[in-house]
Amino acid sequence: MRTDTGHVFKLEDYRPSDYLIPKTNLDFRLSPDATRVSAVLTIERREGVAASAPLVLDGDGLTLLGVAVDGHALSAADYLATPDQLTIAKPPAASRFELRIETEIAPARNEALMGLYRSSNVYCTQCEAEGFRRITYFLDRPDILSVYTVRIEASKDEAPLLLSNGNPVESGALAGGRHYAVWHDPFPKPSYLFALVAGGLGKVADNFTTMSGREVELGIYVEPGKERLAGYAMDALKRSMKWDEEKFGREYDLDVFNIVAVSDFNMGAMENKGLNIFNDKYVLADEETATDADFANIEAIIAHEYFHNWTGNRITCRDWFQLCLKEGLTVYRDHEFSADQRSRGVKRIAEVRTLRAHQFPEDQGPLAHPVRPRRYREINNFYTATVYEKGSEVVRMIRTILGPEAFRAGMDLYFERHDGEAATIEDFLKVFEDVSGRDLAQFALWYHQAGTPNLTVSSAYNAPAKEFTLEIEQSVPPTPSESRKRLMHIPLAFGLVGPDGKPIAWAGVEGAAVEDGVIHVRKRRHTVRFTGVAERPSVSLNHGFSAPITLSVQQKADDQFFLAAHDSDAFARWQAFNTLLTDALIAAFRQVLGGKEPSFAPRLAELAGRIAGDAALEPAYRALALSLPGEADIARDIGKGIDPDAIFAAREALARTIATANREAFTALYDSLADQGPFSPDAASAGRRALRNILLDYLSLLPEGVAVAARHFQSATNMTDRAAALTVLAHRHAGLAQAREALAGFEAKYRGDALVLDKWFQIQAGVPGPHTIDIVRALTGHPAFSIANPNRVRSLIGTFSSANPTGFHRADGEGYRFFAETVLEVEKRNPQVAARLATALRSWRALEPGRQAKAKQALLTMANAENLSADLRDIVERTLA
């Protein structure tokens, strides 16, 4: 475990390495406790580099067995080796030479799950970002591209399957019950994309014919006996391959494409060239074990990792500061894929909810950083919502500004110009400038500047002059190390909506560039005047969430109610209703703090009822609209002095008001939505289940609610409905016999299925109230819980700390104390998972003073722990700064 934390890596310090490694040959002799790795590296000195330049290779906890140059073994005096670095002070004078390195590693003892490790007796790797150096000494940086040939040798009984990147070359039997396989990847790649899997796994096989007529063998490898659960993943893979050909002209380039599902994995999945390795929760699914959300996640993540073949693998990033170049771009691509496979409007709302829940708090807190960071101490801590989700939004804005045709032309040029290279954000932006003739210098601030921009907007209508005016002012709040902000280029899509719900035309516009329904906000203030506007419009802003900003709009409540009922833009219509709900909840929060009973305008509940019953709207849209803003969303909009108990009380009061006002209509609609046929994970069916289950949540607040939820649980024929009913029973009716019986029955039914039991852990960790910490403490001793398994830790500890405000933020601070103890325990095995858990306290300064002091003490407890890893120390110190 690395504990050094002093070095800060800076973008401005980047320079190319003195040496390249154009060819890498690896030979693995696998053994759980003593795997021998032989690396034969072709080393090439860059042109212009002095022959006296030392060769310094990265390592991490390695045991060196030997070093040879051009076939001659080096003596100990010829090099300097530590577990974390190998230095050859006087390399050969020749510009090109061969370096052989022998190391020994212990995969079975690797609980950090980086490098080569064992998961359920299967050897597997995770090398992004800096895991390859845990396998052998190397120039472990993304701008070192090498062609890999890999030989794997193992006991055939222990590991009958031997996989690596690229295409299979040969395989055969060896003496002593061992065997081998050789793989070759003809495409140069960085070390973080290296992969190896060896073990006993079941296979689901298929094939795909590319647009040029090439046959590609597809394989998904899973734990034996679970092959039937990989069918949806295979279908998603084939749809992804077809979509990438049609939308971006990208054809797959190897003879085989393999996916392996493992149960111990720090991330969701990894895009290793030709051999994707997945957390098994994003591969395995059927209606009995997976929810509709699980199916959607599998579809999206299978697509995301496949799309990396071009945006990440064929074109990679020059350095880790450019991480958003592969991740943000590929998130945009998987969002577009899901939008085409499902409902574009519904998918867009879901994306924005995710962005606001995870990235907005990041931008507003001590961990804020630009989409392209300028400095870091531990790169693992920058796999963030800012890099991924905000990075995707920046790509989307490029498309909005340029239009779909110029955007596609820019992407085509990007693939043509930079194939086989390690590129930068500047390279990416340049292709769009070249195809469009536009200057994107101001727009580039979206990559360079942290913080969420805010637009303050007011409007006025001059009836005699038939003029409608928008006053727009932009600002970006200060963030750590950035107190002064520069003006952004914000593409603000909008509409002027008439009393009949139809768009209102205008004759002319001045005060800002307005193109294709988009106002280009570039200055501090704009006065945008529309002429020839026949009647007063309601202004609808940020259509489709065209920019990742916050809006402060001076708008009458009547206009908001009107837009919530009539806006033609799905996102803007949802946003109007969501704004009404948020405003009502903030007012109720303040009433609760003042000792009053919350009260709500009757027309808010009436509007909820009309939306629920509007058959012209997709069921999935209605379900999203009826989902009240989350407790964290409300806290974010309140800003300071947060009392989670008061927010919870306000939210429950509004939900109960809506349920009571719409009791008969909600009951009738709930009954009408019951499944009539066999289960299907398609978007329409999932939407109907989502609407029925949100109605169940409301109905559970009524006197007969517990009986309705119990019947729903007992009659459920799929995991979506079963988990929804169990959540309602556990969260709304904890302690009642029906809830206890449902929890016990669920655990007994799925005792042997770890992924389903994760849902059971998650549901209990999310039970609101001060007593949940006792439940969570007890569950850490459950036979199915393992503090060494990231999925178990995330389902129980992650849910409690990040998705249960009233439980985690218990007023006496016990939640924080338990959390600090647990994070430090996780960190002993897996610093990366511990660091990500610790981000749950990133918004501690927004709490009311009593909780704030106790949260700070928990952070100090972690900061003062001995031998703290670089990962966790980085997060804790930045959070406290």
* Three-class SS of 51-92: CCCCEEEECCCCEEEEEEECCEECCHHHCEEECCEEEECCCC
Choosing from 299, 305, 378, 631, the catalytic residue is: 305
Residue pair 397/443 in contact by the 8 Å Cβ criterion: yes
- DSSP H or E stretch at residue 623: helix 619-626
Take residue 616 and report the two structure tokens written for it.
């012209």
| Cα–Cα nearest to 350, from 389, 379, 313 | 389
- Residue type (1 letter), 748: A
Active site residue 217: no
- Residue type (1 letter), 400: T
Q: Crossing angle for the helix pair 705-715 and 719-732, nearest 10 degrees?
A: 150
d(CA 705, CA 728) in angstroms, rounded, equals: 9
d(CA 109, CA 111) in angstroms, rounded, equals: 6
d(CA 731, CA 771) in angstroms, rounded, equals: 12
Q: How far, CA to CA in Å, does 639 sit from each of 87, 363, 739, 843?
A: 51, 13, 35, 10
Q: How far, CA to CA in Å, does 67 sit from each of 41, 138, 587, 627?
A: 11, 13, 70, 62
Q: Where would I find the beta strands (DSSP E) of 522-566?
A: 525-531, 538-541, 550-553
Residue 735's Cβ-count burial label (10 Å; 0-12, 13-18, 19+) is exposed
Q: Where are the alpha helices (DSSP H) in 266-403?
A: 292-307, 323-341, 344-354, 360-363, 385, 391-402
Query: Cis before residue 300, ω within 30 degrees of 0?
Result: no
Q: Where would I find the beta strands (DSSP E) of 190-324?
A: 196-199, 202-209, 215-222, 256-262, 269-270, 275-279, 316-317
Residue-level length of the chain: 881
Take residue 614 and report the two structure tokens written for it.
């509007």
Take residue 732 and report the two structure tokens written for it.
């709304």
* Dmax (CA) of the chain: 95
Sign, CA torsion 272/273/275/280: positive
d(CA 809, CA 813) in angstroms, rounded, equals: 7
Take residue 287 and report the two structure tokens written for it.
């209606």
Residue 847's Cβ-count burial label (10 Å; 0-12, 13-18, 19+) is buried
| Local structure of 152: helix, strand or coil | strand
d(CA 734, CA 731) in angstroms, rounded, equals: 6
Take residue 68 and report the two structure tokens written for it.
């040879």
Residue pair 645/811 in contact by the 8 Å Cβ criterion: yes
DSSP 445-459: HHHH--S--EEEEEE
- DSSP H or E stretch at residue 871: helix 870-880
Active site residues: 305
